[in-house]
Amino acid sequence: MGLFNRHKTVYVDSDILVVGGGMAGCGATYESRYWGRDLKVVCVEKANIERSGAVAQGLYAINCYMGMQWDENQPEDHVRYARNDLMGLVREDLGYDMARHVDSSVHMFEKWGLPMMRDPETGRYQREGKWQIMIHGESYKPIVAEAARNAASEVYNRIMVTHLLMDEAKPNRVAGAVGFNVRSGDFYVFRAKAVIVCAGGASHIYKPRSVGEGMGRTWYAPWSSASAYALPILAGAKMTQMENRIVLARFKDGYGPVGAYFLHLKTYTQNGYGEEYESKWYEHTKELVGDYIDRHPVPTCLRNHAFLEEVKAGRGPIRMVTKEAFQDPHKETVGWENFLGMTIGQAVVWASQNIDPKHTNPELITSEPYVMGSHATCSGAWASGPSDCAPADYQWGYNRMMTVDGLFGAGDTIGGTAHKFSSGSFTEGRIAAKAAVNYVNDLRNEQPRVSERQYEDMKKLIYKPLENYRVGRNEIVAGTVSPSYILPINGLQRLEKIMDEYTGGINTDYMTNEPLLTRGLELLGMLKEDLDCLAAEDFHQLQRAWELHHRVLASEAVARHTLFRQETRWPGYYYRGDYPKLDDTNWHCFTLSRYDRQSGEWELEKVPVHHIID
Ligand code: SFD
Ligand code: AMP
């Protein structure tokens, strides 16, 4: 007991609490201040918002910009694009709402100092593709963070949020969050009237391609640890499309993104024998998914599918043909700068493997799966839509509010809204914040109630891994293996192995089926039991322990959803061997889950997909 008391408790009261200061969190913090001049707005971040989240290293493109000022695209066009890419299943109301506001966010980024590339002839933003514009974005995150810092009443960096607090005066209402400072170990109790979860996506729930000397390298940020999903799941929020985890075609070993190459440099792919291969798989793919293969652009998952089939047919590796484009000095510069401003590791890998793309066509590979809500995928929380265009059954309160009162979300957190990327995530943060301000104003003087008991119980739970270590290490006679605890890295590797082998990771070429998923869920259950024995030797490891808790819960959601959806909706992302085809008759719907924290049971249901754009 003495151990728990050693950690000071710090209380922070606010009107709006933003959890996670990445792209969505910065948007939410900025906009909360805009609409809530007199409100106390607090942003809490496990790293430092200056360089936190997926944009930490910078980006070379903003992948979601309509260009409405030049009549380049309209929001309706973007809804059609995202719907097509996600094989018909997106929340069109949420996507439309984001798309109609995203341009204004990008204009603010420019005003705040983000260097945009311009087309020398038209003077417009330089297009990389129909939706993407090019930026000198190494400092993208610090620029956006500065705006959030100026807007916030307070920013708390280095605090990992582990749980949400629930109101004891009203059921199903959020009341704040708790966490700990990853440097000092202080315990934080954030009481708030509204909470906006913006805690990013999930890497490292599947065994990554990069192991051994490459361990830690992933495409999505290694610190994206599924809190965006675990926090709402634990609070009883409904989740959607958790089976829609994404697999990305990437440059081999460095996970360098391919968009700028395909779209701006106009490079293309070939099999190991220098042949075009996508058209070979047309009939075969049509058999599986019908006319989705005829859509333009070809859905991302189906491009993966052709890649995977060609490799399985023994004609790998797949290579990106760069040798032609790189003869143009401008394109050569863009090709390298793309990585130097976004994924430096790819440039380093090429240098270390003697690959000069001017003379060698580099290999591509399909990544391990990630859980996200903002790329060509839309896993996340089920949220209420905008009042002017959301169908009635998608509206139960404030825009972007989850199925828990006062709990909002944005970016990777919110499901059903693919292709938001950095700009759309920031924009969704703004949208959620405006609604959260209205929610807080409507509460008037009503205060959520949190008993000391609630957060003291959590405090004991949170620091338990330190206690497990303190006691358990005495049982070690040699080496590091304890008979009574597991370290976070051991738990993480077990999780990655289970997800990889049973729920369609790289090991099985993304294939799974009911018996595999059932066994995978049993093994996840055993892992969950063992998490009680997690041990942390310091606060850094304590953070790893809680990240693991979050990853395991999100993984369970992925497995449950994958089992529930009896079809292969997105071949190239994953395959159900027992239901190998797309089945629009039975599965043109969203899948929703709800976790009961008391019983540990999951409830799953189907919900109709409404098409509001023709
Ligand atoms: O080329 C807690 N992304 C790209 N977006 C673009 O617009 N253009 C690109 O070029 C993009 N590409 C790309 C991208 C990402 C990465 C990693 C690479 C390349 C290599 C995607 C965007 O980055 C992404 O869509 C947004 O960043 C999503 O925003 P958001 O806010 O949902 O997630 P975040 O930015 O990661 O922020 C999450 C924050 O939460 C913190 N956090 N804080 C406290 N307690 C906890 N428990 C927490 N858990 C997490 C995080 O630290 C973070 O700050 S390309 O490949 O397509
Ligand atoms: P990526 O670099 O793969 O993350 O892609 C960046 C952007 O380009 C995203 O909006 C992708 O959907 C898009 N993109 C990437 N490759 C292609 C392609 N071959 N055809 C159409 N769009 C693509």
Q: Which positions ≥6 away from 31 have C-beta within 8 Å?
A: 429, 430, 431, 433, 434
- Per the listing, tokens 């081999």 go with 252
Please list every protein residue whose CB sits less than 6 Å from any atom of ligand 1.
19-25, 44-47, 52-55, 59-63, 160-161, 198-200, 219-221, 223-225, 227, 257, 259, 342-343, 374-375, 411-412, 421-423, 425
pLDDT tens digits, 418-459: 999 999 999 999 999 999 999 999 999 899 999 999 999 999
Within a 13 Å sphere around the CA of 163, how many CA atoms are in the beta-carbon half? 19
Distance separating the N- and C-terminal Cα atoms of the chain: 62
Q: Is the pLDDT assigned to residue 260 strictly greater than 90?
A: yes
| Contact assessment for residue 550 and residue 487, using Cβ atoms and an 8 Å cutoff | no
| Contact assessment for residue 367 and residue 377, using Cβ atoms and an 8 Å cutoff | no
Q: Is the pLDDT assigned to residue 2 strictly greater than 60?
A: no
pLDDT tens digits, 3-33: 545 899 999 999 999 999 999 999 999 999 9
Count of other CB atoms within 10 angstroms of residue 388:
9
pLDDT tens digits, 335-390: 999 999 899 999 999 999 999 999 999 999 999 999 999 999 999 999 999 999 99
pLDDT of residue 479: 84
Radius of gyration of the chain (CA): 23
- Per the listing, tokens 């945009």 go with 116
Count of residues for the chain?
Answer: 614
CA of 447 relative to ligand 1 center, distance in Å: 32
pLDDT of residue 481: 84
pTM of the predicted protein model = 0.98
| Contact assessment for residue 25 and residue 430, using Cβ atoms and an 8 Å cutoff | no
| Contact assessment for residue 232 and residue 310, using Cβ atoms and an 8 Å cutoff | no
CA of 432 relative to ligand 1 center, distance in Å: 17
| Contact assessment for residue 223 and residue 47, using Cβ atoms and an 8 Å cutoff | yes
Q: List the structure tokens of 24.
A: 């969505």
Pick the closest to residue 300 from 246, 255, 367, 370 (CA basis): 246
Pick the closest to residue 548 from 605, 505, 498, 611 (CA basis): 498
pLDDT of residue 1: 44
Q: List the structure tokens of 393.
A: 């059954």
Backbone angles phi, psi at 150, to 5 degrees: -65, -30
CA of 376 relative to ligand 1 center, distance in Å: 14
Q: Which long-range contacts (CB under 8 A, 24 or more apart) does 391-395 make?
A: 391/93, 391/610, 391/612, 393/607, 393/608, 393/610, 394/91, 394/93, 394/610
Q: Which atom of ligand 1 is nearest to 255's Cα?
A: 20
pLDDT of residue 214: 86
pLDDT tens digits, 197-236: 999 999 999 999 999 888 889 999 999 999 999 999 999 9
Mean pLDDT, the chain, integer: 97
Pick the closest to residue 297 from 163, 117, 130 (CA basis): 130
